[in-house]
Structure 1
Amino acid sequence: MQPTGVGRAVQAAIYSAGAYGHRPRVPVEPAALYAAARRRMSRQAWAYVAGSAGMQRTDEANQAAFQRYPIVPRMLRDVRERSLEVTLFGYDLRAPVLFAPVGVLEMAHRDAERAVATAARALRLPMVLSTQGSVPMEETAQALGANPMWFQLYWSNSDDLAASLVRRAEASGAQAIVVTLDTHVLGWRTKDLDLGYLPFAQGQGIAQYLSDPVFLDLVRARVDRRAAGSDDLDAPATPAQRPTPAAIRTLVSISRHYPGSLRDNLRSPLPRAAVETFLDVFPSPGLTWDDLAKLRDWTRLPIVLKGIQSVEDAETALDHGVDGIVVSNHGGRQVDGAVASLDALNAVAPAVGGRVPVLFDSGIRGGADIFTALALGASAVLIGRPWLYGLAIDGASGAQAVMERLVAELDLTMALCGIASVEQVTRDCLASDTLISAER
């Protein structure tokens, strides 16, 4: 076991800079972080990233749940040497923290996944690439180098396309495939609906598709059908009208994202057909547990299911031989009024009983939250919105700063609780129901 020192080191760097009049460019306090990011992002981007489903109740529940599991610090324990290291699927990780898959990163920063790869590589933390990425996975993998990388799959209604994405990810060096289960239809996201905004309709966040040979074949086939008069989508739904400025901006955005020159794409039917094709193939509400057998045929990598929220689904996942699960409600973005992710973890982790790694996301805002999730049985956690806000404020440096501080606070929380290693973070670190009732 080696001294980490990460918590004190991060603190010392901030305080030392402060002595010379330099405050953090990226705020440390969560509310200040979010406010600073909101000022840097467009109204549409902020609504898409920060918004959740319906009345936002699940997002609120995710954060409130941490108050139900108080930490009980223990004293007079030797914590001079601490280790945050964990092992997942045979790989040693510096800390039980991963960059969660987040789509359409170009809305936060023009460097998108390239910037996040720089941050992940600097911190030696795994990055989970999103199917809805703004940069082709091969480019992101190159930027990551030897750094750990997983790939998150949105399973489209084209198995050929899904298989192609998985095989590309494996060829790019992915160490696991994370299948998101909870987005087989898009949630009722009121903030986006009020703005009439879906980034994919602008050609944003579909770089994995636009770099995929199977998808591009689907696009060309669509254009060919239209040219032959056999595609009913060729008929306009309304009489031709004078283009609005918004329509022109959308056309330019779509054309910029499609491979090739902007000038040629503005004259080509392919860019618009690509967006239409994407909207046709994503998502796929017809998937069932039996489809997992196909994925086993497509890859030798560990298969992790993301979006598990019930003990019954966790047991079914194990029956189908998955290698890991992520307890998640998609940050509250899919079902309004759903169970808080932490409460789901509290039920699911004991039921799994260590048979496979149980990861966690949704609601984490600080290092103490990570500690609580670990205590409730998580093997590691995935972080999304916080580092994305750092990315919006200061690019790669901002994303790195946020994640570095989360790890630092986890380290200090462990030290203050008398814990020397992640494996010692157990339910005994949390207040019992009896103690909670007595305090109330």
Structure 2
Amino acid sequence: MQENRPPLTAIPAEIRCAQDYEAIAGHFLAADRLAYIAGGCGQETTLAANRAVFADLRIWPRLLRDVGQGHTALELFGRRLAHPILLAPLAYQTLAHPRGEIDVARGAAASDSGFVLSTLAGRTLEEVAAQAGEERWFQLYFQAERRHTLDLVRRAEAAGYRVLVVTLDTAIKLPSLRAQRAGFTLPAAVVAANLADYPEVAPPVLTRGQSRVFQGVMAQAPGWADLDWLLGETRLSVVVKGVLHPEDARQLKARGVAGLIVSNHGGRSLDGAPASLAALPAIRAAVGDAYPLLLDSGIRSGGDVFKALASGADAVLVGRLQTYALAVAGALGVAHLLRLLREELEVCMAQAGCATLADIGAAMIFKERETRC
């Protein structure tokens, strides 16, 4: 197993924009770990599509608009947020930095940013909560036994997490081909700290002719009844992550889910799935204008944030960039990344003539292919 280069204690001079953290992360992350973090599933067609859709959209600026009282604040799940950029839940951030999610939480708190902690974090939700700001959310994976799932929920409630983000698109978790080819294996010291007290449930014993997938791995996958049970067990707002189909969005809303995250897991779930941004407009149409929608997968700049908001999102979550910034400069890097993204969004808003997030709508997107003669 290769080792990382120690993170810096100051921001490198070559960091000029948020995406620069991605460009230099390879100097700080061991090659196999970088492959694990950066890679997508399969042939990475969905991973590539996430970026291509952003690149294809054009912003349609307006002139002479007064943005002197401009701001990026919004209301989300009964809370006022300073800006619409949150940190997505990522597993095993101790792969990138010894303090892992603790430094991610500190960086988010220093920049007035929302932060989502993964069930598969390398640090416990309690120790991360002690270092986090008020806008902390907890991402939940259903466990094989309901009592373990419920214990995670109760721990999150007791530790002051405000929103429960339930991920439903990764019943099968496979290492990416890129990571396998780089020889990546999870180091013994990197563990899912939140699950340490829950004994593993043995997989079902298969009989001849049964599938390792259908009767094996999927035997422990959650269903609609599990989600209904969870909704009845917690006082927290429940948000479902991993939504790509409008009909799923309608059903989730009807069942009482508080909001959705349109996501293909950063291209790490099903290769060949649509880009999250491409799926977003149809989901917005399905749930209506007032229902909370967030988006992740592919965000690399404040301009990308603007395009996501114009396409129907209320806010976005940033995934890989946070890990790159963490590897480069720890909590300082994460805070700096978030400041860059927010300022890039503000510059984009000002130049496009949008004083507030409410001004960013579908009319701000120029669709080249539809306007050609």
Query: TM-score scaled by structure 2?
Result: 0.89
Partner of 1:312: 247
User: Which residue of the other structure, out of 314, 325, 341, is the alignment partner of 1:390?
Assistant: 325
User: Which residue of the other structure, out of 123, 147, 155, is the alignment partner of 1:160?
Assistant: 147
**For 2:175 and 2:272, how far apart are their aligned partners in 1?**
12
User: Which residue of the other structure, out of 194, 197, 215, is the alignment partner of 1:208?
Assistant: 194
Partner of 1:94: 82
Map Cα deviations across residues 397-438 of structure 1 (whole Å, 9 max, x no partner): 11111111011000110000110001111101111x4x5444
CA 1:30–1:150 in 2, change beyond 3 Å: closer, same or farther? Answer: closer
CA 1:95–1:204 in 2, change beyond 3 Å: closer, same or farther? Answer: same
Q: Is the 8 A contact 1:331 1:361 kept in 2?
A: yes
User: Which residue of the other structure, out of 39, 48, 51, is the alignment partner of 1:60?
Assistant: 48
Map Cα deviations across residues 2-40 of structure 1 (whole Å, 9 max, x no partner): xxxxxxxxxxxxxxxxxxxx9844623466422311121
Q: Is the 8 A contact 2:247 2:286 kept in 1?
A: no
CA 1:23–1:195 in 2, change beyond 3 Å: closer, same or farther? Answer: closer
Per the TM alignment, residue 338 of structure 1 is displaced from its structure 2 partner at its CA by 1.3
Give the alignment of 1:65-80 within 5 angstroms: 65-80=53-68
Partner of 1:404: 339
- For residue 158 of structure 2, what is the amino acid of its counterpart? A
Per the TM alignment, residue 190 of structure 1 is displaced from its structure 2 partner at its CA by 0.3
Per the TM alignment, residue 139 of structure 1 is displaced from its structure 2 partner at its CA by 0.7
CA 1:438–1:149 in 2, change beyond 3 Å: closer, same or farther? Answer: same
Give the 3-state SS of the residue equivalent to 1:359 in structure 2.
strand
Give the alignment of 1:39-438 within 5 angstroms: 39-144=27-132, 146-187=133-174, 189-199=176-186, 202=188, 204-210=190-196, 212=197, 215=198, 218=199, 285-431=220-366, 433=367, 436-438=369-371
User: How many residues are matched?
Assistant: 352
Per the TM alignment, residue 118 of structure 1 is displaced from its structure 2 partner at its CA by 1.2
Q: Larger deviation: 312-321 or 183-192?
A: 183-192
**For 2:192 and 2:335, how far apart are their aligned partners in 1?**
25
- For residue 41 of structure 2, what is the amino acid of its counterpart? A
- For residue 144 of structure 2, what is the amino acid of its counterpart? N
Segments of structure 1 that go 5 or more residues without pairing to the other structure are 1-21, 223-231, 233-280
CA 1:36–1:303 in 2, change beyond 3 Å: closer, same or farther? Answer: same
Segments of structure 2 that go 5 or more residues without pairing to the other structure are 1-9, 206-215
CA 1:196–1:163 in 2, change beyond 3 Å: closer, same or farther? Answer: farther
Per the TM alignment, residue 305 of structure 1 is displaced from its structure 2 partner at its CA by 0.3
Identity %: 38
**For 2:84 and 2:92, how far apart are their aligned partners in 1?**
25
- For residue 192 of structure 2, what is the amino acid of its counterpart? I
Query: TM-score scaled by structure 1?
Result: 0.76
**For 1:283 and 1:371, how far apart are their aligned partners in 2?**
37
Task: Determine which structure has more spread, i.e. the larger CA radius of gyration.
Answer: 1
**For 1:100 and 1:26, how far apart are their aligned partners in 2?**
25
Q: Is the 8 A contact 1:75 1:418 kept in 2?
A: yes
Per the TM alignment, residue 297 of structure 1 is displaced from its structure 2 partner at its CA by 2.9
**For 1:293 and 1:171, how far apart are their aligned partners in 2?**
22
- For residue 137 of structure 2, what is the amino acid of its counterpart? W
**For 1:153 and 1:141, how far apart are their aligned partners in 2?**
15
